Chain A
Amino acid sequence: MKPTIKYAAIAILASNIAYAEGQLNIYNWSDYIAEDTIANFEAETGISVTYDVYDSNEVLEAKMMAGSSGYDLVVPTGDFLARGREAGVYADIDLARLANIGNQDRQVQGLADAQLEARNAGVVYMWGTTGIAYNVDMVRERLGDNAPTDSWDLILDPANAAKLADCGIAILDAPTDVLPNVVAYQGGAGDTTDPKLFEKAGEVLNAVRPHLRYIHSSQSINDIANGDICAAIMWSGDAFQAAYRAEEANNGHVIDYSIPSEGTNLWFDLMAIPADAKNVDNAYKFIDYMMRADVAANNVNYVWYASGNQAAKASIDPEILEHPGIYPTEESQKKLFVVPVYDARLDRVVNRVWSRFSSGG
């Protein structure tokens, strides 16, 4: 018991020393930063960081919308950041205060700025795609060597889905990351805001619904790694996490991820400062620190998402940099699109289509 008390006392003393440089309360996605980044930042700046995590944009949004969250820095996805700005949740970023802003990937940051219709909403931390994760052997066993693993056909064509049903198909429980892709699969523009196209997309999903194991956003990571399911519509980084887990477990399952040739949505997670943040200076210091090339590269090498940082590329693991599922080839880049921010009415249509699909109604 005694040593614990001693360590606790040391910890309290240490945190008091750190208080001298102030505090910083960060709210970020789970598993979304290298293990040593926070500790390094604290050591370098003397700022004491409280680091909390969430696993869905919705949770973050509800907390921010309720007001007085107490956080100084959060990392919402583009459309959520846009809606939050409309509600007055987030402050503009003063880009002049960020010495390392030149390190940002201009193309990526530009796409995000276009989605947000603002140049100072936030700094892109990571970005990724929605695509297909699949168990290489299980899919080949059922669909042969020419299995359309590079097409939405693999899951959205009922004939294929029926053959994969026995080894298990899962779909993300995220309407705005799935329905626009179904629109693209049908030849429409993924960045549409036409309710009719979403209704039609719902019909495509309803046709494969009998063959689905479940609709869930995080369960599929473990399940596909364990071979409990064999194909899933997933976010890029999650798919690589699953592939890594399968490799670690050495269970014989090989998981791969592909960006479908019909195109898919590109999304960005941005570092943003809440309007009611108390430690604004430290938030700027942290954003600037995260934009340093070595820090950004270290994070990418850990989380396996593409970085919003151009300068970091020199130190990013070549295996990541050359993977077409993480940094898409120029060919597939042409087919990528950014989902615009829906208004409340379109939100309701999209979610109704989604509810009817997921409940089979």
Chain B
Amino acid sequence: MPQRHSILAKLAGRTGRRLVVLGPLLWLAVFFMLPLLETLQVSFSVAQRSIPPYAPLWGFDEGGFFTNFTLDNYGLLARYWQDYIGPAFNSIRLAFFSTLVCLLFAYPMAWWIARSTPKWRVFLLVMVMLPFWTSSLLRIYALIGLLNPNGFINGMLMWLGVIEAPIRMMQTDFSIYMGMVLTYLPLMILPLYAVMVRLDDDVIEAATDLGASGVQIFWTVIFPLTLPGVIAGCLLVFIPAVGEFVIPALLGGPDQLMMGKVLWTEFFRNRDWPVAAAIAMLLLAILTVPIIYARYQDGRVDDKHEKETGAR
């Protein structure tokens, strides 16, 4: 009875898989869902000067069960939307272009690493990951030392006689993007590498044999096959980049107010945790739409793949 056997095996496989998934699920519930729900709750609370600095949303007192629910925090954001839409746009633009530049640099680098001999591969991967071993803050300060008007690069260029007066690099878009790309590049390289290293050389060979040009091979064979890595890398870079606070604060000038700073101001300066929470929730909602869309696309590719190969 081979039929029945395979059903049993399938069932056992499914239970096993569920058990394996349970760990990460628990982790997500405790460290992601609970804080998220807490933030959601704070966003509907009334701010007051106490520990913590907002009134409880619900509870029991002498009068019995009470609730203290307000939509005012979201109302304030709606009323003063001009103050928030600009920084939101700045942050998304910064994240978008940082992701784009990271992708343009990371793609050939990841390809080169994936095509190296296994020995070199390890060395190059370590080189990519090495910066993670020092504090990102230290690296930003090192960058400041390089880019300052009296810093290393200007000093070098002036000593060589290439320029006469220092070039202004700090507090410009250039310094912000330098910081962003330096910090986030490894997050783009690693998922790309993971996909590329598994890429079957035979596929490329077959395309060449069938007379495809280099450009054709790239766009019709290599790029579609590495797309999951591209999507994963873009998400890994884009999401933290939107909330980036430190890099624009240290490397940027006064003209670019980012969402991270707006959140900081609400939290620390206005001491209005509820409004800060409301901004965080809205930002999350805006960001999850493209992510869910990307996941949905990803899922469809997987499903198709499953159907075509008939096994999983």
Partner-B contacts on A (CB < 8 A): 56, 58-59, 61-62, 64-67, 83, 86-89, 175, 209, 212-216, 219, 223, 226-228, 344, 347-348, 351-352, 354-356, 358-361
Residues of A within 8 A of B135 (CB): none
- What is the total number of residues of chain B having a CB less than 8 Å from a CB of chain A? 32
Contact of A227 among B50, B150, B267 (CB under 8 A): B150
| Bound complex: CA A30 to CA B270 (Å) | 24
Residues of A within 8 A of B86 (CB): 359, 361
CB of A344 within 8 A of CB of B271, answer: yes
| Bound complex: CA A360 to CA B269 (Å) | 19
Residues of A within 8 A of B80 (CB): 352
Q: Is B255 an interface position by the 8 A CB rule?
A: yes
CB of B52 within 8 A of CB of A214, answer: no
6 A-B contact pairs sorted by A residue (CB < 8 Å) = A65-B53, A65-B271, A216-B249, A228-B149, A347-B270, A360-B255
Residues of A within 8 A of B256 (CB): 359
Q: A213-B253, A344-B47 are in contact. Are A175 and B271 (CB under 8 A)?
A: no
Q: Smallest distance from the beta carbon of B141 to chain A beta carbons, Å? A: 10
| Bound complex: CA A146 to CA B3 (Å) | 98
Q: Smallest distance from the beta carbon of A144 to chain B beta carbons, Å? A: 22
| Bound complex: CA A67 to CA B52 (Å) | 7
| Bound complex: CA A213 to CA B149 (Å) | 12
Residues of A within 8 A of B50 (CB): 87-88
Residues of A within 8 A of B150 (CB): 226-228
| Bound complex: CA A215 to CA B248 (Å) | 12
Residues of A within 8 A of B83 (CB): 352, 355-356, 361
Q: Which residue of B lies closest to A84 (CB)?
A: B49
CB of A88 within 8 A of CB of B254, answer: no
CB of A351 within 8 A of CB of B270, answer: yes
CB of A87 within 8 A of CB of B270, answer: no
Residues of A within 8 A of B53 (CB): 65, 87
| Bound complex: CA A64 to CA B51 (Å) | 8
CB of B148 within 8 A of CB of A226, answer: yes
Q: Is B212 an interface position by the 8 A CB rule?
A: no
Q: Is B257 an interface position by the 8 A CB rule?
A: yes
Minimum-distance CB pairs A-B, first 9: A359-B257, A58-B268, A87-B49, A67-B51, A86-B49, A351-B269, A215-B254, A87-B50, A65-B53
Q: Is B190 an interface position by the 8 A CB rule?
A: no
Q: A87-B53, A348-B272, A356-B83 are in contact. Are A219 and B250 (CB under 8 A)?
A: yes
Q: Is B243 an interface position by the 8 A CB rule?
A: no
Counting chain B CB atoms within 10 Å of each CB, the highest count among A61, A354, A359 belongs to A359
CB of B265 within 8 A of CB of A351, answer: yes
Residues of B within 8 A of A56 (CB): 268
Residues of A within 8 A of B271 (CB): 61, 65, 83, 344, 347
Q: Which residue of B lies closest to A213 (CB)?
A: B171
| Bound complex: CA A228 to CA B145 (Å) | 11
Counting chain A CB atoms within 10 Å of each CB, the highest count among B53, B256, B269 belongs to B269
| Bound complex: CA A84 to CA B148 (Å) | 39
Residues of B within 8 A of A89 (CB): 51
Q: Which residue of A lies closest to B166 (CB)?
A: A228
CB of A212 within 8 A of CB of B269, answer: no
Q: Which residue of B lies closest to A348 (CB)?
A: B270
Counting chain A CB atoms within 10 Å of each CB, the highest count among B47, B51, B252 belongs to B51
Q: Which residue of B lies closest to A87 (CB)?
A: B49
Q: Is B262 an interface position by the 8 A CB rule?
A: yes
CB of A359 within 8 A of CB of B49, answer: no
| Bound complex: CA A266 to CA B180 (Å) | 39
Q: Smallest distance from the beta carbon of A234 to chain B beta carbons, Å? A: 16
| Bound complex: CA A245 to CA B61 (Å) | 58
Q: A83-B271, A216-B249 are in contact. Are A360 and B265 (CB under 8 A)?
A: no
CB of A66 within 8 A of CB of B268, answer: no
Q: Which residue of B lies closest to A175 (CB)?
A: B269
| Bound complex: CA A271 to CA B262 (Å) | 31
Q: Which residue of B lies closest to A358 (CB)?
A: B254
| Bound complex: CA A62 to CA B53 (Å) | 9
Q: A65-B52, A351-B269, A358-B254 are in contact. List 7 more A-B contacts (CB 8 A).
A: A65-B51, A65-B53, A228-B170, A344-B271, A351-B265, A354-B265, A358-B257
Q: Smallest distance from the beta carbon of A335 to chain B beta carbons, Å? A: 27
Residues of A within 8 A of B228 (CB): none
| Bound complex: CA A64 to CA B271 (Å) | 12
CB of A88 within 8 A of CB of B87, answer: no
CB of A88 within 8 A of CB of B149, answer: no
Residues of B within 8 A of A355 (CB): 83, 257, 262, 265
